[in-house]
């Protein structure tokens, strides 16, 4: 990961300003190190290095998580990285807390730092390969990533927008036990050459039924705006990987039971020993 830092440094990015903890200890000397570059490994000698793209509500985290279990590679979601760092009292946590509390977006540099820290830890533990979820979000992030490591494949999960909207509006949380459910029952018949889509609802047990609440931001207006922003940001990133022949477009045919086997087929993994039930 030293390579990431080297790549960032010429652009005037220094990390030392971040690195004073509440104990007043400076981490700057440990942050910028000069390890040899060993991120570009022969694909035959390492595990997959994949990226998952997909709009909010498409289930990207679920499929990325399942594949990482199947292939034995770390599933790295930037949202988790941020939460982990916030709870760790690590060198970045104070600055992160300030940014998050002000409702601001984290800069590319901070996201890259968190990611490189995580990849370094993985390497130190002898893990190779990764599945990135929610990263890269911008062309600049994609370029930085491209500069230091090889991305083998970018899987773009797609689902019809009307279906995503219905699924998002169907989400419910139990105010007592925190369980997540979905009341939307989607059964669209195939027409005009377009395949049908079937997604079963995820209904709550009777004990939760009277306690269901809807998240305040799961309104039609907010979901549509979230999707619009996502598409605006992601299209250049998709194009970046499409032009390099690395983008695999995958139209989800439905829920997990319908989609998981087809996704494995599309990735030539259908002969893999899969212990995860498609019906989960």
Considering only residues 14 to 53 of the shown chain, the ones binding Zn ion according to CB under 5 A are none
Distances (CA, A) of 216 to 31, 79, 201: 39, 20, 20
Listed residue (54, 42, 78) closest to 167, CA to CA: 54
The nearest distance, CB 211 to Zn ion, in angstroms, is: 6
C-alpha 64/C-alpha 54 separation (Å) is 11
Residue in 113, 117, 137, 172 annotated catalytic: 137
Checking DSSP bridges between strand 171-174 and strand 212-213, what pairing results, if any? antiparallel
Residue 173 binds to Zn ion (criterion: CB under 5 A): no
Active site residue 137: yes
Considering only residues 193 to 222 of the shown chain, the ones binding Zn ion according to CB under 5 A are 208
Q: Please say whether the dihedral angle defined by the alpha carbons of residues 246, 74, 147 and 36, taken in this order, is positive or negative.
A: negative
The nearest distance, CB 213 to Zn ion, in angstroms, is: 10
Residue in 46, 224, 226, 246 annotated catalytic: 226
Count of other CB atoms within 10 angstroms of residue 186? 20
Residue closer to Zn ion by CB (options 89, 177) is 177
Residue closer to Zn ion by CB (options 33, 175) is 175
C-alpha 92/C-alpha 203 separation (Å) is 40
The nearest distance, CB 208 to Zn ion, in angstroms, is: 3
Residue closer to Zn ion by CB (options 177, 229) is 177
The nearest distance, CB 57 to Zn ion, in angstroms, is: 22
Answer left, alpha or beta for residue 190, where phi above 0 means left and psi between -120 and 50 means alpha: beta
Residue closer to Zn ion by CB (options 174, 252) is 174
Joined together, the tokens standing for residue 52 give 């998952």
Distances (CA, A) of 190 to 131, 149, 159, 165: 32, 41, 14, 19
The nearest distance, CB 204 to Zn ion, in angstroms, is: 7
Active site residue 215: yes
Residue 168 binds to Zn ion (criterion: CB under 5 A): no
Active site residue 60: yes
Looking at 63-71, 119-127, 140-148, 172-180, which segment touches Zn ion (CB under 5 A)?
Answer: 172-180
Residues 68-87, mask of contacts with Zn ion (x by CB under 5 A): --------------------
C-beta of residue 1 within 8 angstroms of C-beta of residue 119:
yes
Residue in 194, 215, 228, 244 annotated catalytic: 215
Listed residue (167, 145, 143) closest to 1, CA to CA: 145
Residue 174 binds to Zn ion (criterion: CB under 5 A): yes
Distances (CA, A) of 225 to 19, 153, 200, 213, 234: 36, 28, 25, 22, 14
Among 176, 185, 219, 276, binds Zn ion (CB under 5 A): 176
Residue 114 binds to Zn ion (criterion: CB under 5 A): no
Nearest-Å Rg of the Cα atoms of the chain is: 20
Looking at 58-66, 86-94, 170-178, 180-188, which segment touches Zn ion (CB under 5 A)?
Answer: 170-178
What are the residues binding Zn ion (CB under 5 A)? 174, 176-177, 179, 208
Active site residues: 60, 137, 171, 215, 226
């Amino acid at each position: 990961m030293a390579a990431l830092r080297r790549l960032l440094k010429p652009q005037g990015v220094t990390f030392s300003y971040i690195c004073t903890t509440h104990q007043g200890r400076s981490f700057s000397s440990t942050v910028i190190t000069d390890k040899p570059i060993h991120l570009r490994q022969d694909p035959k000698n390492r595990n997959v290095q994949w990226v998952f793209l997909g709009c909010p509500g498409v289930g990207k985290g679920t499929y990325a998580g399942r594949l990482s279990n199947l292939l034995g590679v770390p599933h790295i979601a930037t949202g988790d990285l941020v939460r982990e760092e916030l709870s760790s009292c690590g060198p970045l946590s104070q600055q992160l807390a300030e940014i998050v509390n002000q409702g601001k977006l984290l800069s590319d540099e901070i996201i890259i730092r968190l990611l490189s820290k995580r990849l370094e830890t993985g390497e130190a533990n002898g893990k190779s390969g990764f599945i990135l979820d929610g990263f890269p979000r911008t062309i600049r992030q994609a370029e930085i990533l491209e500069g230091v490591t090889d991305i083998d494949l970018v899987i773009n999960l797609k689902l019809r927008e009307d279906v995503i909207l219905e699924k998002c509006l169907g989400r419910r949380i139990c105010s007592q036990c925190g369980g997540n459910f979905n009341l939307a029952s989607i059964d669209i018949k195939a027409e005009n050459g377009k395949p049908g889509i079937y997604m079963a609802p995820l209904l709550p047990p009777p004990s939760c039924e009277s306690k269901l609440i809807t998240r305040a931001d799961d309104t039609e207006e907010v979901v549509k705006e979230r999707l619009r922003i996502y598409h605006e940001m992601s299209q250049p990133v998709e194009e970046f990987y499409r032009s390099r022949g690395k983008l695999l477009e995958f139209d989800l045919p439905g829920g997990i039971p319908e989609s998981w086997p087809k996704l494995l087929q599309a990735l030539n993994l259908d002969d893999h020993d899969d212990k995860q039930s498609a019906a989960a």
